[in-house]
Chains A and B, each alone.
Chain A
Amino acid sequence: MRAFLGKLVFFFRRRRFEDDLGEEMRLHQQLRAEQLEARGIAEAPSTARRRFGNPAALRDLSRDVWTWRWLEDFAIDLRFATRILKKKLGFSTVAAVTLALGIGSTTAVFSIVNAVLLRSLPYRDPDRLVAIWDRALREKGMEKVFAPYTDYEEWQRNARSFEKITAATWAFSPSRILAGRGPAKQLLAIPATGSFFETLGARAALGRTFTPDDERRGCAVVLSHGWWANGLGADAGIVGKSLTLDQRECTVVGVMPANFSFYPAATQLWILLGPDFEPPRGQATAGIFARLKPGVTRAQAQAEIAALHRAAHPSGFWHDFEPAVYDLHGEFTFLASRTLRITLIVTFAAVLLVLLIAALNVASLLVARLAERQRELAVRAALGSGQGRLVRQVLTESLLLSAIGAAVGIGLAYAALRYFRHASPIQLTVGADVGIHLPILLFAIGVALATALLFGLLPAIKAGRIDVIDRLKTGGRGPVAGALRPSARSVLISVEMGVSFLLLIGAGLLLRSALRMGTEPLGFNSTNLYQTPTSLPMPRYREPERRIQFYKSLLDRLNRVTGVSGSAITSRIPPYPSDGGLDALEIQERSAPPDQHGHDVGLNNSVSPRFFEILRIPLIEGREFLMSDTASSLPVAIVNEALVRDYFPNENPLGKQVRISRPRNQEMPWLTIIGVAGDLKHPELMNEMTWIATPVLYRPLYQTAPQRIEIAIRTSSPRALEHEVQEQISGLDSSVPINGVQPVETAISEVLAYPRFRAAVLGFFALTALLLSAVGLNGVLSQIVAQRRSEFGIRKAIGAQPRDVLWLVLRQGGAPIVLGMSGGILCTFAFSRLLSSLLYGIKPADIRVLLSVAMLFVAMGLAAIALPAYRASRIDPLAALRDE
């Protein structure tokens, strides 16, 4: 401490220090000389000087005691480095841009990785929060389904592992119709138990959250901040007021803060999973969420509730399932997308490779620069710069470059993340906050330092080992000695080439997957097809006849809208996901459903007449549903080809009678099959990289009369469509909610969002990598050509043709390309294993991708070689030799 202050004070009286010290030393030598002279020694003054030592060096040493030597050196190095970088502006710009690209993309990707995978959820003690799903013991594709609501009640009473437990569900189309505030609206209202907010440890911003007592007391709701602000005009006095939901009066008890969210992110309000919940709680299924008691592990909780589950379901439908306890964070990632985690891992791996290439590239540029600066370094070494000092000087240059790269890179990352948030190409985990925060900044700085060491250390060490005498003798020209030989750079370039090739292969595979997924025929025609969902409010539409009447009138009205060539009503418009399904098909006069089929008819779709015609789904056999297929006529069904393949492999299905056996629902009448429709392709809930054709059973809308529907409209004039459709619905009944009208193509794009995002991002990184390596290769070759100028001159003088010289350079540049490609192909096998879950319709070793990537790669490589090779072949032997 005292020393620190002393050093600070010293800073202000440096001048005086020098004078005092000088005087002291002079006096010392003078006294010594007098003493020696008194003893009669000849040449006393020079002996005194010899005995004293080198006053300049001693003065330096004395001063060093009072200063932070390293800091001063650093300041000097920094000034020098700035000068050097300014002098070689072209080199500096290329290096800084390369680093900015590398550091910037790494930072941007890391920000997303951090927000999604690393940061804990914004709840109290999030590490103890778990999600509990059921998993089928025998069937595939049903690893994660909602558990029966009764399990929640059972565990709430009897499980010891949890501090708090709650259930929330987004099955049963969780929407409520809001009336009384402008036109009727459909709201995303998530039913949850009274313990929901308490389990998460979340408090309300206004009013309060649910309490367990609320379940017994009428209808209470908690609003999300977003809907309160945008849908209700941020009414500060909303707490205690009443909202009309599904024609019931519900009291607002609280508003959540802006930073609170839960799955699904679009939730507008939470309602109670109370006694009057529909379907009755005995039949409902829900996600169960719990807070573990401190010290209880997931495995212990799992064992306990699995035992409870077995005891509660000795037989029956749920007997084939068991509950599984997962960490809530991981499940939120899973809910956002099955492939979110792996997408981020692959992207991060890719961006790290790009960073590696950037660092190698700058390292190779720096080595080349050092080769040119050997004379300068040798002179400095000769003048007494220590080895460590030279290393530090070169490292300072690297740090400066890296700092510039980091600054620009952080700017790039900021812009990229802004765009990402704005365009939101993929859905992220609930509450994931993507941006440049302090931890991200620290990460960027860390990356910059690490890269500076990576690309700076190699050249720095080489600078330290410089052979002074040798360098000065050749005047810094001639063949480059020792470790600075271009072969070191060739190795670097080969590695770069290999990594780029690897990235290109990955990008190629993902691109081809996205293209194949995007061009897969889905079994219907989505051009000019639009959709809008709605649902009929209860209790006004409790009678099926009223619902049917409404649907008939609505279709009549819609068909008269100009431009509309047809409209249909269905419970789901494709491409809806196949959820594996809990239902099994029973066939009249056949014993219980064969086991191998299990519960795989999940897709029970009610459709209006003309549905197949309007969606252009081919009808293979039989007839469409007609207006005459009503509640009073024969119950009928149309099945798709997949169902015929599975259940009637060698029979004519027409006229057969089937029904869906349900564990929990009322009996379904036997349905007579009257037609066979073509297959549709569905995305799968558990595996997003598929289009599958599952068995589907279509029933006539006028026999089932569902309450929630989707309207499909084919039109040639979509411009005023939304307005027209909303007008027609409100015109029929203003209590029926209206929603936005969306092209069906948009829904398809949503399915393709992830594959497309991955292909785009990896493609961008791969091309960046390729470009960087090409620049690197070009740099190395240009340097080689410059250094071997006289050699090429001699070759030409003794009769080599330009073609021969061209060939020489080509061989030199071709080696890294070939090496890199072979290395890349070897690594591809490991890398594409990582990708295999992200591919569609191709194998990791797809020969077409491999070939096209190799062609692109070679073309880029040749472009990088061309200019230096051309320059080499043009060397004028006379001029080259004159210079020597």
Chain B
Amino acid sequence: MLILQTLVAHGRRHGFEIANFIEQRSGDVLVVEEGSLYPALQRLLLQGWIEGEWSRTQDNRRARYYRVTRAGRKQLDAEIERYQRVAAAIGKILQPA
């Protein structure tokens, strides 16, 4: 979900950029191997939620840029909605009666 969100927010990005954004956003909360981004990207590609395309960076290095597809956007909306519903439900339970 984080990857999809990042791509929606910032448009076309390559792997290292995505990793960087996520790192900045979550601060030190999510400490995982950076490399685990790549299996996650494969899953999104397989589901057709993102697309990858080889292109050049500003300093002219070959990199694969990822972009959210329409299906990916829908998926993200659905996930956010579900997340909010769950969050709301948790909130209610935690509210004192």
User: Complex Cα distance A139/B64, Å?
Assistant: 95
B46's contact among A6, A25, A31, A53, by CB below 8 Å, is which? A6
Which residues from chain A contact B36 at a C-beta distance below 8 Å? 53, 58, 61
Asked if residues A51 and B34 are in contact (CB atoms below 8 Å), the reply is: yes
Q: Within 8 Å of chain B (Cβ to Cβ): is A62?
A: yes
CB contact under 8 A between A24 and B38, given known A32-B16, A65-B43, A65-B46: yes
For chain A, residues 1 to 54, give those with C-beta under 8 angstroms from any C-beta of chain B. Answer: 2-3, 6-7, 20-21, 23-25, 27-28, 31-32, 35, 51-54
Which residues on the B side are within 8 Å of A27 (C-beta)?
A: 14-16, 61-63
- Residue from B19, B34, B47 with most neighbouring chain A CB atoms (10 Å): B34
Which A residues touch B34, using CB under 8 A? Answer: 28, 32, 51-53
Write the nearest CB–CB distance from B87 to chain A, whole angstroms: 29
Q: Does A66 contact B (CB under 8 A)?
A: yes
Q: Contacts A3-B47, A20-B64, A52-B34; is A65 near B16 (CB within 8 Å)?
A: no
Give the residues in chain A near B54, CB-CB below 8 Å: 20
- Tell whether, in the assembled complex, residue B35 and residue A3 are in contact, meaning their CB atoms are under 8 Å apart: no
Whether A28 contacts B16 by the Cβ 8 Å rule is yes
A457 to B76, CA, bound (A): 44
Bitwise interface map of B from 68 to 87 toward A, beta carbon under 8 Å scored 1, else 0: 00000000000000000000
The reply on A425 being an interface residue by CB < 8 A is: no
In the complex the two chains form, what is the Cα distance from A40 to B14 in whole Å?
Answer: 24
Asked if B42 is at the interface of the complex by the 8 Å CB criterion, the answer is: yes
A55 lies within 8 A of chain B by Cβ: yes
B16 x A31 contact (CB < 8 A): yes
Complex Cα gap A53–B41 (Å): 16
Q: Which residues on B sit within 8 Å (CB–CB) of A59?
A: 38
The complex places the Cα of A23 from the Cα of B20 at a distance, in Å, of 18
| Minimum distance in angstroms from A28 CB to a CB of chain B | 5
Q: Is the CB of B33 within 8 A of A62?
A: no
A32 to B34 CA separation, bound complex (whole angstroms): 10
CB pair B35 A65 closer than 8 Å: no
The smallest C-beta distance from B2 to any residue of chain A, in angstroms, reads 17
Chain B nearest CB, measured from A44 CB (Å): 14
B43-74 interface code vs A (CB 8 A; 1 in, 0 out): 10111100000100000011110000000000
Is the beta-carbon distance between A3 and B46 smaller than 8 angstroms? Answer: yes
Q: In the complex the two chains form, what is the Cα distance from A54 to B42 in whole Å?
A: 17
* List of B residues within 8 angstroms of A7 by Cβ: 46
Shortest beta-carbon distance from A43 to chain B in Å? 17
Asked whether, in the complex, the Cβ of B16 is within 8 Å of the Cβ of A61, the reply is: no
Are A28 and B19 interface neighbours, CB within 8 A? Answer: yes
| B27 in the interface (beta carbon within 8 A) | no
Residues on B with beta carbons closer than 8 Å to the beta carbon of A63: 42
In the bound complex, CA of A530 to CA of B61 (Å)? 105
> Given A7-B46, A65-B46, A66-B46, does the pair A52, B16 have CB atoms closer than 8 Å?
no
Q: What is the bound-complex CA distance between A59 and B42, given in angstroms? A: 10
Given A28-B15, A31-B16, A53-B34, A61-B39 contact (CB < 8 Å): yes
Return chain B residues, CB-CB under 8 Å to A58.
Answer: 33, 35-36, 38-39
Q: Which residue of A lies closest to B17 (CB)?
A: A31
Residue numbers in B under 8 Å from A25 (CB-CB): 15, 35, 38
Contact A24 B64 (CB under 8 A): yes
A25-B43 Cα distance, complex, nearest whole Å = 16
Please measure, in the bound complex, the distance between the C-alpha atom of A31 and the C-alpha atom of B63, giving whole angstroms.
11
Complex alpha-carbon distance, A802 and B89, angstroms: 80
Bound together, the chains give a CA A64 to CA B38 distance in angstroms of: 12
Contacts of A65 in B (CB 8 A): 39, 42-43, 46
Q: Within the complex, which residue of B19, B20, B42, B47 is in contact with A62, where a contact is CB–CB below 8 Å?
A: B42
**Cβ contact within 8 Å between A51 and B33:** yes
Most chain B CB within a 10 A radius of its CB, from A28, A51, A53: A28
**Contact present for B43 and A55 (CB under 8 Å):** no
A35: which B residues are within 8 A, CB to CB? Answer: 20
Residues facing B in A47-96 (CB within 8 A) are: 51-55, 58-59, 61-66
Q: How far is the CB of A71 from chain B (nearest CB, A)?
A: 16
For the complex formed, measure the closest distance between the CB of B29 and the CB atoms of chain A, giving whole angstroms. Answer: 16
Please judge, given known A-B contacts A27-B15, A28-B19, whether A53 and B43 are in contact too, CB under 8 Å.
no
Measured CA separation A58–B20 after assembly (Å): 18
Q: How far is the CA of A208 from the CA of B34 in the complex (A)?
A: 83
Min distance, Cβ B79 to any Cβ of chain A, angstroms: 18
A100 CA to B63 CA, complexed, in Å: 59
Q: How far is the CA of A351 from the CA of B16 in the complex (A)?
A: 66
Task: List 4 additional contacts besides A2-B48, A3-B47, A62-B39; criterion CB under 8 Å.
Answer: A25-B35, A27-B14, A28-B15, A65-B43
Question: Can you report 23 residue pairs joining A to B where beta carbons are below 8 Å apart?
Answer: A2-B47, A3-B47, A20-B54, A21-B38, A23-B64, A24-B38, A27-B15, A27-B61, A27-B62, A28-B35, A52-B33, A52-B35, A53-B34, A53-B35, A53-B36, A54-B35, A58-B35, A58-B36, A58-B38, A59-B38, A61-B38, A62-B39, A66-B42
Binding site for A on B (CB under 8 A): 14-16, 19-20, 33-36, 38-39, 41-43, 45-48, 54, 61-64
| Top-9 shortest CB links A-B | A53-B33, A53-B35, A65-B42, A61-B39, A58-B35, A31-B16, A52-B35, A62-B39, A62-B42
